[in-house]
Each structure stands twice: as structure tokens, then as C-alpha cells.
């Protein structure tokens, strides 16, 4: 089967039988655009092996089916392969997806890989297999917010005069250097693959690549001391360089990591050339896993060393602590995950990564929606700062898109405004509205979003399933249930939704429900876990909680 170069159609002419189908088609294709995907030839979008379709024949069947799908039909997708079309109704999603799900006792990487090798499943990550990846910008805003929270907690509200050390400059991790410099700080980022660092320089997420570790340290310390916002990449293995920087006593203030540690076959062990890693991992997966985990243990041990020396250290959602623990390093969980450390209060307010893409392909449509957001929320200063910086600094990848964190009661307002702008011709074509699965009420992930919940309910996975059901019942355009994204097989269950603003009255009714009920899941989930802030939001916004009534 031929490998394609895929690019979504642009403009206001339909190539399918309706805008919801057209949106799904364009966003599937956009996920595989060479400007967006990390390895489009393998259908891999981001996050190690996160794919948009199982194989090329499945991709072609998806495109064929979306092109002919009626407005009262629903296509079912099982781990990247279309498996059926049923007659439903206009309010039903046009696509329902389930990716990478396995029954509990079988939910291990070796079993997943066995089934994947048989062609029976694929790894969907979060927005890869649910067709709403928008490139590195998607994570940039969340990363920007996280570093802003670090600045607020430890450094007087700015990262100016601080040095952040991190690893991994891939699809998600590549957002880190820009997020740090947007907060005024200096950043040193290690990646084993020089091409990944160069790609981030080309897209303006990274300022420069150093010629050696010595050069990197000199530049980084100079930037810190002169309070310059500068990001520096250095080629090497994080398991070697992080301990070396600790030994040298480099004055590092913040340490985190976004190497692809969630999958021990994606983390390159010390002593292995990244070019040889895929072949080695495929031929000897167990040996590779042992070596990768041993390297991760050394990497995490050095992160703990930085913590002991007074740095702010956190796990950035890649499960590196879990892998280091499996290698026998006992203090792996000495530092916290980023959600309990910085993000949970936002989740209590139903806040999370609201994102949208312009199907016209014209950046002018995103500029118009940016103005609409500023107009809708004039008192939100950090939102205004983000929208302004994003407009200046973010290079679009694929279809122009934007992300900002909005809460309960805000997302539906924004969605309805976009729908009006499509209806009155301010925008040239419909807008696709979705979100990351890393949201307030859509994930069960004990190493990440639900780490250290107040009532101990970290591993309860009913919530994301209810989230998918309520979005289906509310009129979302496509809804997905995934397993393993972000943190790896066996460690998370999560759900996604995407809703299309095509300017019709029906779309308006769907948007009003979906974009209220979806973040509403975050509010009720955190009320149930005993967070007072969530209780307050529920009370102020009239979210009904049966156990608090009567
Ligand atoms: P990716 O596969 O695109 O990039 C990973 C990078 O790590 C690559 O550039 C690779 O060369 C590098 N790398 C691998 N081993 C290394 C080593 N030993 N030393 C130095 N560099 C090494 O993955 P991504 O999309 O950037 O995601 C990174 C991680 O973050 C994944 O584990 C993913 O699951 C997780 N993630 C976190 C969040 C979050 O919100 N915090 C969201 C999504 C994904």
C-alpha cells in the first residue's frame, strides 16, 4: 500500500456530505500533515507512537467512509480502523472512536505490542487517534501556564533570572523552551536526537543549539545571570547529562523532563545511538526496556539530587518516575507530578485546554477568533497576555489553530460566538472546537491528572467513561475513549470530544450543551473528591450535584 503525503483541504467548499463529516476528514488529514506529524509516513502524529490511523488501508477506508457518510449516520472506529457504519440521528456524533483499550489484567506493554504486531490495535495517545492534534502549540499553552504557576509559587511571578533544565524536544516536549522564555526565563533542553532540536529552531520554539555541554552551560549561566530569556538545546542523552550537570553544580533552579519515558521502547538508553534505537527496540524489546529503565533510574536520581539541592522539580506527565521505580530506584516519587503541584485548582473550576482550528486554512480566521476571545473575557489578564504572545510567537503547523485554557461557563460562550461568526460571514469557513484529553473531568491517570486526589480516588476510571457518554448524549461531532495516552499502557483511561461550529442553529444548540457539560464533568468530579473550590464553582454556576440536594 502506497504511503501518502497528506494535507487537509482548505476553503469553504465541501468535499463530503456535511460540515461535521468534513471537519472529521480535514482534522484526520491535518494530523498527518508533514508540518504537523512527527513521523507521517508511519501515521505517527506525536508522543512516541501515537497514531491517527492503524495502517494505510485503514486510513484510505476512513477517508472513503467520511466522504460518503450521511448526516444521520455514525462511523465506528476501533483503534484506527473503521469497523462499521450505523444509522443514528442528526444529534448523534458522526464518529465514535475507541483506541488502545485493553481489559485490566491484559493492559501491559508486552501484550499491547503483541496485539499491535498482529494488526489488531494501535496506540492512539490522546489527540493523535482522536484527530484534534494542532501541533506543538497544543501543549504550549498548558506548558506556559505550568511554568507561570512555578514562577508564581517560587520566583515572585517571573522566571527572569532563573535557569530551567529539561529533557525531550519532541512533539510535546518541544513546547518547553518557548514556554520558559515566554515566562522570561533561561532554558537548557537536552535531546538525544539533533534533528528534533533543529526542528524546534526552525519553528521558533527553540532559540539556539549549543556545540557542546560546556558551551551550553556557559550560555545558560550567562543568560540566567543577565536575566535574559533564552533557550539553548544540547545534543546528548539526558541520563548522562543531567547527572553531569548535578556533579558540576550548575546553578539550576527548575528541573523537569519530557523525554518519551511513558514507553520504555521510546526512551533511548545511554550508549545507544538514536538512529539505531528503533531497530534495537524492535529486535530485542525486553533487553531494550531493561536498559532504558536503568537509564531512567539514573536520570530520575539526578532530578532528586537537584531537588535535594533546593531546585523546584516536577514530573511533567511522562511517567518517568514510574519507570525509574520499576528499575528499582526507591526515591523515584520524591518529587511531585505537575497536576497536584500546580494545575488542580484550575481543574476544580472546570478549566482546561480549549482549542479550535480554522477549516478555511486562513490565519485571518484565527486572528478574528483571537479578537473575539479578548472581547468576551476583557478582565482575564493572563488570557490576554497569552493570546497576544501566541499571536506574535506561535508558528502555525497545518490548519491555523489556537488554544487557551477556559473554564466552566466560558467555553460555551466562546463556542457560541464562533458559531455566530461563521453564520454572519465574519469567518470564511466553519471552526472545529475540541480539547486535549488532559482536561479537568476526562481522565483517570494516577501518575498525572488524578495523582493524589483528596479522597484517594486516583485510579477510578468511571469518570472519563461518563465524560464520553455525556458528550455523545449532548451532540458532540466526534467522541473518543482511549487508554494509555501520555503515561503509557495500563496507566490511564481518557476521553475526548470535538464539536463543529458550522454556523447553523443546530450546531449552536449542540455547542451550548457540549461545551457546558464537558467542563461540567471537571466540576462534579472534583466536588465528589471533596475540593471546596469545586463546590464553590458548582454553587455559583448552578451545577446540580444530587448528593448535595435534598
Ligand atoms: P516525542 O516522541 O515526540 O519526543 C520525545 C523526545 O525525547 C524525542 O525528541 C527523543 O529524541 C527524546 N529522547 C528520547 N530518549 C531520550 C534520552 N534518553 N535523552 C534525551 N532525549 C531523549 O514525544 P512528545 O510528544 O514530545 O512527548 C514527550 C512525553 O511527554 C511523552 O512521554 C508523552 O506521553 C508525555 N506527554 C506529556 C503531556 C503533558 O501534558 N505533560 C502531554 C502529552 C504527552
pLDDT digits over 65-89, tens only? 999 999 999 999 999 999 999 999 9
What distance in angstroms lies between residue 139's CA and the mean position of ligand 1's atoms? Answer: 12
If you take atom 33 of ligand 1, which residue's CA is the nearest one?
A: 486
Does residue 546 register a pLDDT over 70?
yes
The confidence score (pLDDT) of residue 376 equals 98
Average pLDDT over residues 231-249: 98
Does residue 15 register a pLDDT over 70?
yes
Residues 6+ apart with CB under 8 A from 334: 304, 307
Instruction: Indicate if 404 belongs to the active site.
Output: yes
CB of 170 closer than 6 angstroms to any ligand 1 atom: yes
The preferred substitution site among 168, 203, 485 for testing ligand 1, maximizing ligand atoms within 8 Å of CB, is: 168
CA distances from 142 to 18, 355, 377 (A): 32, 11, 19
Beta carbons within 10 angstroms of residue 2's beta carbon: 5
Q: Which atom of ligand 1 is nearest to the CA of 125?
A: 34
Q: pTM (2 decimals)? A: 0.86
CB of 136 closer than 6 angstroms to any ligand 1 atom: no
pLDDT band at 3 (very low <50, low <70, confident <90, very high): low
Residues 6+ apart with CB under 8 A from 360: 10, 11, 12, 427, 428, 429
Residue 401 CA to residue 44 CA, distance in Å, equals 20
Contact 182, 393 (CB under 8 A): yes
Average pLDDT over residues 308-320: 95
The confidence score (pLDDT) of residue 138 equals 82
CB of 128 closer than 6 angstroms to any ligand 1 atom: no
How do strand 73-78 and strand 352-358 relate by DSSP bridges? unpaired
CB of 33 closer than 6 angstroms to any ligand 1 atom: no
CB of 172 closer than 6 angstroms to any ligand 1 atom: yes
Average pLDDT over residues 275-285: 96
Residue 47 CA to residue 487 CA, distance in Å, equals 10
What distance in angstroms lies between residue 274's CA and the mean position of ligand 1's atoms? Answer: 13
Does residue 486 register a pLDDT over 90?
no
The confidence score (pLDDT) of residue 149 equals 86
CB of 37 closer than 6 angstroms to any ligand 1 atom: no
What distance in angstroms lies between residue 288's CA and the mean position of ligand 1's atoms? Answer: 17
C-alpha cell at 101: 483499550
Long-range Cβ contacts of 379-382 (<8 Å, 24+ apart): 382/145, 382/148
Percent of the chain with pLDDT over 90: 91
What distance in angstroms lies between residue 411's CA and the mean position of ligand 1's atoms? Answer: 29
pLDDT band at 251 (very low <50, low <70, confident <90, very high): very high
CB of 261 closer than 6 angstroms to any ligand 1 atom: yes
C-alpha cell at 64: 472513503
Residue 470 CA to residue 310 CA, distance in Å, equals 45
| Helices and strands: H and E segment counts in the chain | 19, 17
Burial of residue 60, with CB atoms counted within 10 A of its CB: 0-12 exposed, 13-18 middle, 19 or more buried: middle
CA distances from 390 to 207, 366, 410 (A): 16, 11, 20
Does residue 152 register a pLDDT over 90?
no
Active-site residue, from 187, 348, 404, 440: 404
Amino acid at each position: 500500500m502506497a504511503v501518502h503525503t497528506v494535507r487537509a483541504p482548505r476553503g469553504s467548499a465541501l468535499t463530503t456530505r456535511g460540515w461535521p463529516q468534513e471537519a472529521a476528514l480535514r482534522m484526520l488529514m491535518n494530523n498527518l500533515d508533514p508540518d504537523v506529524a512527527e513521523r507521517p509516513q508511519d501515521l505517527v502524529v506525536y508522543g512516541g507512537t501515537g497514531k491517527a490511523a492503524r495502517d494505510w488501508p485503514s486510513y484510505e477506508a476512513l477517508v472513503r467512509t467520511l466522504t460518503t457518510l450521511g448526516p444521520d449516520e455514525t462511523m465506528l472506529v476501533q483503534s484506527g480502523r473503521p469497523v462499521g457504519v450505523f444509522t443514528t440521528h442528526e444529534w448523534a456524533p458522526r464518529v465514535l472512536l475507541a483506541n488502545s483499550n485493553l481489559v485490566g489484567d491484559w493492559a501491559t506493554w508486552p501484550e499491547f505490542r503483541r496485539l499491535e504486531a498482529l494488526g489488531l490495535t494501535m496506540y492512539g495517545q490522546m489527540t493523535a487517534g482522536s484527530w484534534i492534534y494542532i501541533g506543538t502549540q497544543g501543549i504550549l499553552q498548558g506548558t506556559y501556564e505550568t511554568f507561570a504557576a512555578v514562577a508564581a509559587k517560587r520566583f515572585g511571578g517571573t522566571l527572569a533570572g532563573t535557569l530551567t533544565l529539561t529533557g525531550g524536544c519532541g512533539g510535546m516536549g518541544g513546547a518547553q523552551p518557548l514556554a520558559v522564555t515566554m515566562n522570561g526565563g533561561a532554558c537548557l533542553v537536552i535531546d538525544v536526537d539533533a534533528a528534533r532540536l533543529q526542528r524546534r529552531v526552525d519553528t521558533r520554539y527553540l532559540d539556539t543549539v549549543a556545540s557542546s555541554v560546556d558551551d551550553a552551560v556557559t550560555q545558560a549561566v550567562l543568560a540566567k545571570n543577565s536575566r535574559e530569556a533564552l533557550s539553548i538545546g544540547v545534543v546528548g542523552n539526558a541520563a548522562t547529562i543531567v547527572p553531569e550537570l548535578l556533579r558540576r553544580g550548575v546553578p539550576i533552579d527548575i528541573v523537569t523532563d519530557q523525554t518519551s519515558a511513558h514507553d520504555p521502547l521510546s526512551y533511548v538508553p545511554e550508549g545507544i545511538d538514536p538512529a539505531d534505537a528503533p531497530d534495537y527496540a524492535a529486535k530485542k524489546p525486553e533487553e531494550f526496556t531493561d536498559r532504558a529503565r536503568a537509564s531512567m533510574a539514573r536520570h530520575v536520581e539526578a532530578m532528586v539530587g537537584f531537588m535535594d539541592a533546593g531546585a523546584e522539580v516536577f514530573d511533567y506527565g511522562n511517567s518517568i518516575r514510574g519507570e525509574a521505580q520499576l528499575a528499582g530506584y526507591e526515591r523515584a516519587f520524591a518529587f511531585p507530578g505537575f497536576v497536584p503541584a500546580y494545575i488542580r485548582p484550575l481543574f476544580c473550576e472546570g478549566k482546561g485546554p480549549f482549542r479550535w482550528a480554522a477549516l478555511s486554512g486562513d490565519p485571518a480566521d484565527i486572528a478574528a477568533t483571537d479578537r473575539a476571545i479578548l472581547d468576551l473575557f476583557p478582565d482575564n489578564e493572563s488570557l490576554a497576555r497569552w493570546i497576544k504572545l501566541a499571536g506574535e510567537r506561535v508558528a502555525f503547523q497545518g490548519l491555523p489553530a489556537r488554544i487557551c485554557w477556559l473554564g466552566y461557563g466560558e467555553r460555551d460562550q466562546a463556542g457560541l460566538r464562533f458559531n455566530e461568526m461563521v453564520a454572519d460571514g465574519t469567518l470564511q469557513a466553519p471552526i472545529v472546537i475540541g480539547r486535549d484529553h488532559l482536561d479537568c473531568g476526562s481522565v483517570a491517570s494516577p501518575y498525572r491528572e488524578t495523582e493524589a486526589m483528596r479522597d484517594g480516588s486516583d485510579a477510578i476510571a468511571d469518570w472519563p467513561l461518563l465524560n464520553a457518554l455525556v458528550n455523545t448524549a449532548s451532540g458532540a461531532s466526534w467522541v473518543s475513549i482511549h487508554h494509555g495516552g501520555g503515561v503509557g499502557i495500563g496507566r490511564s483511561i481518557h476521553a475526548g470530544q470535538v464539536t463543529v461550529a458550522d454556523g447553523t442553529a443546530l450546531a449552536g444548540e449542540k455547542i451550548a450543551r457540549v461545551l457546558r457539560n464537558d467542563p461540567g464533568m471537571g466540576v462534579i468530579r472534583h466536588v465528589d473528591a471533596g475540593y471546596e473550590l469545586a463546590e464553590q464553582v458548582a454553587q455559583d454556576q448552578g451545577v446540580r450535584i444530587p448528593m448535595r440536594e435534598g
